[in-house]
């Protein structure tokens, strides 16, 4: 009762001014930095940055002005890069090959800082994981990062009354900060971190990566389960490609067994096999949960699209375990078997109703079911990589088609280039 009363009191005061404790939050926890998963671009840097390009007049640029006139090969693939290529090859060309990345916006900053606070929360003892401490972790990270090169521009505007002098909009910053604080309130209502059973989370913010075979039959989920990174039939590096990303969290979860495992051949109940342990991959999302208000077929497609990233993480973890690549930040990855990887959870911190929501997926009761699902993901990634390399080998930016999404990055950048030098459609 005392814990519930404290939780209610903290929630009631959660909407106090964002800056009220910004300068006094000094929790004695280890610092953490947020790493980007967009690691597929070349080490080369573009001649022009995103800001430079926006300042150019329409039609004044040419692809030959970037990367010495060549299209560099990607060194790896991330879930976000793969999804971008599927949606818009031209946007992928701009962002992941030419390196013209969009600057951090308010939504990305909010997500990054909330992730950092949620990760660091579990450095605290269970009794210390209060809503107030979670919010103060966010304030601590923002106090440290708000004037960094990555974030300092977010609330700047030119004051026309001061001859264009750049001024920081502190009211907008306060509004943004309170919105982020509200997301953490939502999280606390969805999951009480004081009650998360030990040893969970068994891992937090860990890099997962594997070299996948272009032939999906090789690898831990294929018909030839020999680890693809070690097979000797073809040692050509080009028959493999690196996929990598960051997993927010891994948890142990108790799941009931299927009836065929609970009862023996004589029909007797076996208490020892009634409950099994599985590993759940958890990903925090600061965007809204999908609204499943459409036809069953459309709702299924939406759910599968949202879960695709976590399926990639499950595939990479399977490959890492199969190849003995189990060194991890928490040291617990070496304790996980391939059979344990089964459950996926997207933890959305808001929704159309303004509340946090779970989206869960069970990859299958049997290893055969899980293999089938992840094998399809492997096939999709292999096809994406092949598609990228075909276009890169062509060395013609006009081969990268754009999309019809009005919000897409391609529509901001393409007009700046000479007409006909890129795919126009």
Q: Which residue has the tokens 């096939």?
A: 379
Return the SS3 of 158.
strand
pTM over the 0.95 mark: no
- Give the pLDDT of residue 48: 73
State the maximum Cα–Cα separation within the chain, in Å, rounded to a whole number. Answer: 87
Over residues 255-302, the pLDDT tens digits come to 876 655 555 666 665 555 556 899 999 999 999 999 999 999 999 999
From CA 344, how far away is CA 366, in angstroms rounded? 15
Which of 166, 168, 149, 170 shows the shortest CA–CA distance to 158?
166
Q: Which two tokens stand for residue 354?
A: 């303004």
**DSSP category for residue 237:** G
H-type helices in 68-169, by residue range?
A: 79-87, 89-92, 106-121, 131-145
**Measured distance CA(117)–CA(26) in Å, rounded:** 13
- Chain centroid, CA 35 distance in Å: 10
Candidates 284, 35, 292; CA nearest to 183 is 284
Residue 255 backbone dihedrals phi, psi, to 5 degrees: -130, 145
* pLDDT tens digit sequence for 163-211: 768 899 999 999 999 999 999 999 999 999 999 999 999 999 999 999 9
pLDDT in tens, 36-54: 444 444 445 455 788 889 8
CB neighbour list of residue 173: distance below 8 Å, 6 or more residues apart: 18, 146, 154, 155
Asked whether 292 and 264 are in contact (CB, 8 A), the reply is: no
Cα 188-194-197 angle, rounded to 5 deg: 115
3-state secondary structure 244-305: EEEEEEEEEEEEECCHHHHECCCCCECHHHCEEEEEEEEEEEEEECCCCCCCHHHHHHHHHH
pLDDT band at 316 (very low <50, low <70, confident <90, very high): very high
Residues 157 and 166: beta-carbon distance below 8 Å: yes
Pairing of strands 341-350, 275-288: parallel
Q: How confident is the model at residue 414, as a pLDDT?
A: 97
Q: Is residue 326 within 8 Å of residue 333, measured between CB atoms?
A: yes
């Amino acid at each position: 009762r005392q814990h519930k009363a404290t939780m209610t009191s903290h929630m009631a005061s959660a909407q106090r001014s964002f800056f009220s404790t910004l300068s006094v939050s000094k929790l004695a926890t280890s610092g953490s930095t947020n790493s980007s998963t967009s690691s597929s671009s070349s080490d080369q840097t573009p001649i022009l940055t995103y800001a430079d390009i926006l300042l150019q007049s329409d039609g004044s640029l040419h692809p030959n002005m970037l990367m010495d006139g060549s299209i560099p090969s990607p060194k790896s693939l991330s879930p976000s890069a793969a999804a971008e290529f599927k949606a818009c090859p031209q946007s992928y060309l701009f962002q992941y090959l030419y390196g013209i990345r969009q600057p951090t916006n308010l939504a990305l900053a909010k997500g990054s800082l909330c992730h950092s606070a949620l990760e660091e929360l579990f450095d605290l003892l269970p009794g210390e994981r209060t809503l107030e401490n979670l919010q103060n972790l966010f304030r601590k990270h923002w106090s440290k990062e708000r004037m960094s090169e990555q974030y300092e521009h977010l609330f700047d505007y030119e004051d026309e009354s001061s001859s264009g002098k750049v001024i920081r909009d502190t009211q907008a910053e306060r509004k943004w900060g309170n919105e982020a604080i509200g997301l953490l309130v939502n999280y606390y209502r969805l999951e009480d971190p004081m009650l998360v059973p030990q040893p969970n989370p068994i891992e937090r913010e860990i890099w997962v990566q594997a070299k996948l075979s272009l032939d999906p039959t090789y690898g831990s989920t294929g018909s030839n389960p020999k680890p693809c990174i070690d097979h000797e039939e073809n040692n050509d590096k080009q028959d493999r490609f690196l996929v990598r990303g960051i997993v927010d969290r891994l948890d142990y979860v108790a799941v009931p067994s299927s009836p065929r495992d609970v009862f023996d051949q004589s029909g007797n109940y076996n208490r020892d096999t009634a409950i099994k342990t599985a590993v759940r991959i958890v990903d925090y999302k600061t965007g809204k949960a999908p609204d499943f208000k459409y036809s069953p077929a459309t709702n299924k497609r939406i759910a599968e699209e949202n879960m695709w990233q976590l399926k990639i993480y499950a595939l990479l973890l399977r490959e890492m375990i199969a190849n003995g690549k189990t060194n991890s930040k928490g040291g617990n990855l070496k304790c996980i078997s391939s059979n344990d990887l089964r459950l996926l959870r997207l933890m959305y911190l808001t929704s159309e109703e303004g509340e946090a929501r779970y989206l869960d997926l069970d990859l299958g009761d049997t290893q055969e079911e899980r293999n089938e699902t992840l094998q399809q993901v492997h096939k999709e990634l292999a096809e994406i990589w092949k598609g990228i390399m075909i276009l890169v080998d062509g060395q013609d930016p006009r081969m990268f088609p754009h999309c019809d999404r009005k919000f897409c990055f391609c529509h901001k950048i393409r007009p700046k280039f000479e007409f006909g030098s890129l795919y126009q459609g």
